[in-house]
Amino acid sequence: MAAMEMECLKGDWGLPSVNLKCLNIMTYSLFVEAPIKFYDDRMLWRNLFAQFPVFRSGEMVLYNSDEKIIRYLKERNFNTDARLTDQQRADILAYSALLEERLLPAVLYLWWMDAKNNVEFSRPWYSKAFHFPFNYFLPGRIHKAAEERLECTVGGNHVLPEELRTKIFKDAEECLDMLSEKLSDKTFFFGDSPSSLDSLVFSYLASLLRVPFPNNDLKDHLKQSENLWLYCSRILQRYYPTSAEEETERKEQEDARRTPGSIDEDPHKVRNIILSVAFAVCALVGYSLLSGLVQLEVMDGSDDMDEGEVD
């Protein structure tokens, strides 16, 4: 069997990836212990529309479809749903459609349509997530795709921006209530072991809970339904124990770094100032020489004598 590898959007805040589909596949692969190698920030020039995830296995490449990837994994016997009844499998399909219709718009809205989140949070984060030169245009493309999606599926000419916001969040809150109802007090949606619905729901819940949006209307609602909140932290603890620990460590380090003040940044500042002054001087001198404002003549003693003779 060919080795499986996948290119993802990078993660943060204790999540291995902030892209819903990537997170879904990553969690699913942990459920079934599938040997997939994950890369972030790699081969972006082959993925100019930022369609994550990109899944490769031998010759086969799957773009942008978590559903297809999971179907492929299931064919390879990495299947969590084999033990389920037909009706439960039908439920999985139905609930994933529900999530796509009701919760996805809210997540996209939080990332890209909310003005404050977009300017203060999403754009800066995304432009740091990719390396040069992709950081200049990939965030814009992702933003545009999200906007188009919302406009075509929920919005349109007849919906005012404010109405769109209330509608999206109302739908999302209803959807969370339904999930909470479906989960009730079980460990996973279908009993004690995870299914493909669990990885999907987890990817949504985790990004709503963990991504620190400045404006997050849904987080409070999600915290109110205790079972969903516990469910999410249970999966995080069970399947991403290291990342959670790393996260706290990283935060501690950051705090530690912040307290001594700006001493850390000073050497860079001095270097930058020197460099910029040097560059400015070079540019000025170069310009004045080339344009003829200042002329330099190189004169030898012998030249002087020659001139004298001519005169």
Count of all residues that appear for the chain in the document: 311
Nearest residue to 222 (alpha-carbon basis) of 212, 214, 232, 237: 232
Three-state SS sequence of 77-141: CCCCCCCCCHHHHHHHHHHHHHHHHHHHHHHHHHHHHCHHHHHHHHHHHHHHHCCCCHHHHHHHH
Residue closer to another protein (CB basis): 99 or 236: 99
For residues 13, 14, 18, 24, the Cα torsion angle rounded to the nearest 10 degrees is -160
* SS3 state of residue 153: helix
Residue closer to another protein (CB basis): 183 or 236: 183
Residue 175 C-beta: closest distance to another protein, Å: 8
The Cα diameter of the chain in Å comes to 111
Residue 49 C-beta: closest distance to another protein, Å: 11
Residue 152 C-beta: closest distance to another protein, Å: 5
Residue closer to another protein (CB basis): 82 or 152: 152
Q: Cis before residue 133, ω within 30 degrees of 0? A: yes
Residue closer to another protein (CB basis): 161 or 301: 161
Residue 224 C-beta: closest distance to another protein, Å: 16
Rg, C-alpha atoms of the chain: 28
Residues lying near another protein in the complex (CB under 8 A): 63-65, 86-87, 89-91, 93-95, 97-98, 100-102, 145, 148-149, 152-153, 156-158, 174, 177-179, 181-182, 184
Residue closer to another protein (CB basis): 44 or 178: 178
- Residue the block writes with tokens 């509608």: 167
Residue 266 C-beta: closest distance to another protein, Å: 48
